[in-house]
Structure 1
Amino acid sequence: MIDITTENFESDVIVASQTTPVLVDFWAPWCGPCKQLMPVLEKLETEYAGRFTLAKINVDDEQQIAGMFGVRSVPTVVLMVNGQPVDGFAGAQPEGQIRALLDKHLPAPEEVAAQQDEDEAQAALQAGDTDTALEKLQHAVATDPANDDARFDYVKLLLELDRLDDAKVAFAPVIAKAASVQRLGSLQQWMDAQDASASGEDIAALDARIATNKRDFEARFARSQRLMAARQWTDAMDELLEILMRDKAWNEGQARKTYIAILDIIEPPAVAVAEGQIPPEDPTVASYRRRLSSVILS
């Protein structure tokens, strides 16, 4: 539970509710119903175990904030999500009705647990502890199988550790979504590149074909796949740009789709950006996004 004043309102209510819902209790020391309601809200905050944060605002001391929310009586309770009020009530309400309001808007327990695992995994990766990161991501996927972000990070880490077979097993439950969910499709492209690189011509043979015919797009694409498999991302995108500069629509836009897949793969994790661990835009990603736009729009 947090006591809110004008000094911390922005950080502890508006900003904080972007990641964890905040239940704001407007109360007053002279209000009898407020004193009845507050222990109920505190109990629910404990039981919901991190799914929301309880914030108290004394309307006598913080009349400006109360006026912003149009509070006319106390207790008044407002649920903030993503910086905006989404629900609330006035007067002391039964615990069951408050639970119904919370359950309507709050993330499910498994979603919260999976997000915590993801956060810890990213912290472990920043510290160079891939074993812990892999364990946390595996647990996140097991806890919340519908969490595509956690699965993306899990499969991506397996591929970075050269565990292709394990990555395919972890990816199998969502393989049908790869065509409609871009980031999952990007992982599929990376696995396809690794499979293609396990057979067929090597880089030297492909280079010889390209030297003979600059428009041998199949050779250029195969070369980009070899580079993807070796995690030589910028070289792979450079090769794909060579195709795009000559034929933007080649093979139903395959070069463009693969280029975008690489950008998805090398994009910094959103959670790491949000926590300030990584700058909001990686310079390499930004540069290659601009190059793609320049070629596509030319």
Structure 2
Amino acid sequence: MSIVDPRSGAPLTAPQEPSSPSRDTAPSDEQLIVDVDHNNIQQLLELSMQVPVLLDCWAPWCQPCKALMPILEKLTREYRGAFILAKLNIEDNQEIAAQLGVRSVPDVKLISQGGLVDHFQGALPEKEVREWLGRYFPAPEDAPASPEEQAAEALAQGDAATARALYEQLVQQNPDHAPYQVELARALVAESRSEEALALLDNLPPEERDAAPARGVRASIEFREEAPGDDELAALAGRDDSEARYKRALRQVADGDYESGLEGLLEVMRRDRGYGDDVARKTLLRVFDALGADHPLTVTYRRRLFTLLY
């Protein structure tokens, strides 16, 4: 079974043993990436009986589509035949788009055995696309860490300068991808460049500026401003009252030791719920905002806070 690439006229053939092709026999771009229209959509569906097809529904006016497409093409080459990438311009193929139920773009559909397996919408960052593909395909053994993964790892290891440089490259390459700008702001905060981080966040579109990730970076800046300095912290040594416990916890949060800080805030609540007009509970909620709703520490300590309250 073959399909014709409209760009080159070359036949597109399903690669043999797509899950484990050798480097020497890696399929070419003409075999892996194809433009789709009414002339070959049926061939593509038939091809999906032999090898899965990743159908990228896009439009020329869609900026997120332009950010996502290079990521999909890169990953298609990395997977070397585990699936075919088919690109459908919905402006030129509105009837096909309607039949496929495409309502907004980018819309990426995984098709296998002639049927829809799964799909996602929006310009996901590379890490999330990899995770999505990982549900259905073994990761390439020699796949290098993406710049996004390298940046996140550098930030986690305390190498803020490297993380910032990598995020700057990602922002330059994907200027409309707000999550990269938020992570760049996070790296700037880690370098004690809070004013630059705030300026970056202030320039985001309103829906991104007010979303949880950006709010979390702002919260981390506030913690740094509120936390006691080294001299004040030294003066608290040996004290075991609520003020000392609260300020030590605040400093731990500001330093990125979130688990110790959360534990300390809970302890203030246990011992003196009324301290500072319930400031320990309010600060816990701000830390949750900074970490994000899905962070493991947020999940754990939100549950412990609920147990303590009720």
**Length-normalised TM-score, structure 2:** 0.47
**Length-normalised TM-score, structure 1:** 0.49
Would you tell me which structure has more helix in proportion to its own residues? Answer: 1
